Amino acid sequence: MVSTADALDVSPLVAAADWDALAALRAQSRAHGVEGVMLKHRRAGYGSGRRKQGDPDGPAWWTWKVDPLTVDCVLVYAQAGHGRRASVHNDYTFAVWSRPPTDAAEAQAAVEAIARREPARPGALRLVAFAKACSGLSDAEFAEVDRTVRATTLEKFGPVRSVRPTLVFELAFEGIGASPRHKSGLAVRFPRLLRIRGDSMVKAGILPDDFVVVRPQDTAADGEIVVALVGEEATVKRFFRESDHIRLQPENATMEPIRTTDVQVMGRVVGLFRSV
């Protein structure tokens, strides 16, 4: 018979004088190989699943995780989803550079070589896959990515499409380690999408991470750049009123316009701020 002491590792009790001290201990979590600290009422019982106030097992307990690590990466493959998203590409493979580019010209040449489907030369800069993710975006964002995937498809492999590298995402993850699964030799733990590094308006001079200045108004003239709500999601696009719908036109040749009747103009873009 195995004793309880031999079968279980007991987590140490963490003592802190106040919230600042507890936050400092939490910040050291990765150094100890854990994801954060557990906040638990002394009378809370252990059980499966998420514990909530009012549970039969007792008062609440909660894992206070450290903030995730993040990386910017580019979409290189997309696969259609399942169920209600079976017609939308929302299962993504992401890549990073095999090494730092020497300059912007080398990076652009590598992207153009991918578009021409040329195999990478030994030692040449290339994009190597390192992560897959399929969660973190809204339905409207997945639909916008799906339009870009279809417009930039290079090849099809059954349900999978390889795409021209045009969409950059911020990916959150909990850790990184060696893996033979990806060409990079690396894999990340619990990857999920944080946001698209949007470049739909680059030809209008609006770059990813710019802050736009908006004059509130609920109407717009054709050709004006607006902030609009499509369903429950906000987007910045050029506005055009057509016979039976509104066309929200991106300023990026790789992206398709949004055509919809479910749109609400929130304001007109009159300027922007940019960190330098």
Confidence of residue 171 (pLDDT cuts 50, 70, 90): confident
pLDDT tens track for 47-87: 655 555 555 555 567 778 888 888 888 889 999 877 777 78
Is the pLDDT at 209 greater than 70, yes or no?
no
- Record the tokens describing residue 41, joined without a space: 């009422």
For residue 195, name the pLDDT band (cuts at 50, 70, 90). Answer: low
Domains and CATH numbers, the chain: 4-65 (no CATH), 69-197 (2.40.50.140), 202-273 (2.10.109.10)
46 φ/ψ sector (left φ>0, alpha ψ -120 to 50, else beta): beta
Question: Model confidence at 5, in pLDDT bands (50, 70, 90)?
Answer: low
- Catalytically annotated residues: 200, 237
Reported as a single tens digit per residue, the pLDDT across 219-244 is 889 999 988 877 656 788 999 999 88
Q: How do residues 22-43 score in pLDDT, each as one tens digit?
A: 889 888 888 887 888 888 777 7
For the ranges 14-28, 50-64, 92-106, 165-179, which has the lowest average pLDDT? 50-64
Highest mean pLDDT among 12-16, 178-182, 242-246, 249-253: 242-246
With a pLDDT cut of 70, the percent of the chain lying above it is 83
* Mean pLDDT estimate for the chain: 80
pLDDT of res. 276: 47
> What is the mean predicted confidence (pLDDT) over 96-114?
84
Most confident option among 9-13, 65-69, 76-80, 269-273: 76-80
For 123-157, how does the pLDDT look when each residue is reduced to its tens digit (9 = 90+)? 889 899 888 888 777 777 788 788 888 888 999 98
Judged by average pLDDT, the poorest of 59-68, 109-118, 241-250 is 59-68
